[in-house]
Amino acid sequence: MIITLKKNTPKEEAQKIISAIEKKGLHVTVIEGTNYNVYGVVGDTTVLDEKAISANPFVDNVTRIAAPYKKANRLFHPDDSIIDVAGIKVGGQEDIVVIGGPCSVEDRLSLLELAKDVKQAGGCMLRGGAYKPRTSPYAFQGMGTTGIEWMCEAREQYGLPIVSELMSIDKMDEFEEHVDLIQVGARNMQNFDLLKVLGKSKKPVLLKRGLANTIEEWIMSAEYIMAGGNENVILCERGIRTFEKYTRNTLDLSVIPIIKQKSHLPIIIDPSHATGDWKLVESMSLAAIAAGADGLIIEVHNNPESAWSDGAQSLKPDKFKAVIEKGRQIAHVIGRGM
């Protein structure tokens, strides 16, 4: 960490700052500049709060050199983490996983039919929202517990582990018991109380990136879960908010190589929410695979026109199958199974 003090800082004030830092077990070195004095802080700087330091009126600027995360940091954990989701391995050189299913679970029969289609197309997990984060209080809010029960039934029948979004700490027991991969949605990426509760679980967590969050903030949210004791975190990019109007969000595929540089956690891509348009899902899926993603999570629906939410972004099962088949060939080129 680099702390810049104004040139006119009295010696005793500078000394106070240095002492406070050294008390926490860190070392400080000074460089005298023309217009500023610069202090280099050496040691485990995750214990320092840059905002608190900036509060000092003599401090001009505080810059972190080392990343503020430890457990999620590739630097201290050089090997890829491989996360086990009910027997399916995600990350490292494991096969690329494809998760398919409806945005929200709507009725039992069509869910079971869809699970069969996902399975036959080559999907390896079933997604489905039972609790839905909706911008409007007047929109469909999800089937709740019933939805989770139908998901469990589909799992039993087709052997697909299930993925569903947890929105609130009071449903944690239900998810702990029934769901194989617990999704944290984009709007809850910084719902720190939810992250803390997940940190006490052993269930794998699919952590979506927030709509306007940086990669560093996203990894810090993973760090929350890991710091609590649960290291089974899979990151999921689902598009960020930009000024573009022709897509719902902007899919940021550069996160794939970046996450692999900065962290050891697996990274999967959600092209459906990112684009909001099924016509873009195939090209973005293939691009994600070419860029090195560890998996895809894709919305599939038998009858998108009559879906209760997000039908516009859902693939029909035959199209989903086609994406997997083409994707497998791309995976082959970059030396990966799928």
Residue placing its CB nearer to its own copies in the complex, 175 or 224: 224
Give the Cα separation of 54 and 5 in Å (integer).
10
Of 31-39, 82-90, 93-101, 105-113, which part binds its own copies (CB under 8 A)? 31-39
| Distance, CA of 284 to CA of 268 (rounded, Å) | 12
User: Stretches 43-51, 80-88, 91-99, 112-120: which one binds its own copies (CB under 8 A)?
Assistant: 43-51
Stretch of residues binding its own copies (CB under 8 A), selected from 36-44, 107-115, 119-127, 150-158: 36-44
Number of chain positions touching its own copies (CB under 8 A): 109
Question: 190 and 217 in contact (C-beta within 8 Å)?
Answer: yes
**Does residue 19 touch its own copies according to CB under 8 A?**
no
Residue 236 DSSP class: E
152 binds its own copies (CB under 8 A): no
Q: Could you tell me if residue 92 is left (phi over 0), alpha (psi between -120 and 50 degrees) or otherwise beta? A: left
Contacts (CB under 8 A) with its own copies, residues 181-200: 187-188, 190-194, 196
d(CA 250, CA 239): 5
Q: Round to whole Å and give the CA distance between 286 and 338.
A: 12
Q: Which of residues 209-228 bind its own copies (CB under 8 A)?
A: 211-217, 220, 223-224, 227-228
Q: CA triplet 83, 110, 187: central angle to 5 degrees? A: 50
Q: Which of 116, 149, 174, 247 binds its own copies (CB under 8 A)?
A: 247
Residues 295-334 that bind its own copies (CB under 8 A): 304-314, 326, 329-330, 333-334
β-strands 97-101, 2-6: how paired?
Answer: unpaired
| Least distance CB 65 / its own copies (angstroms) | 5
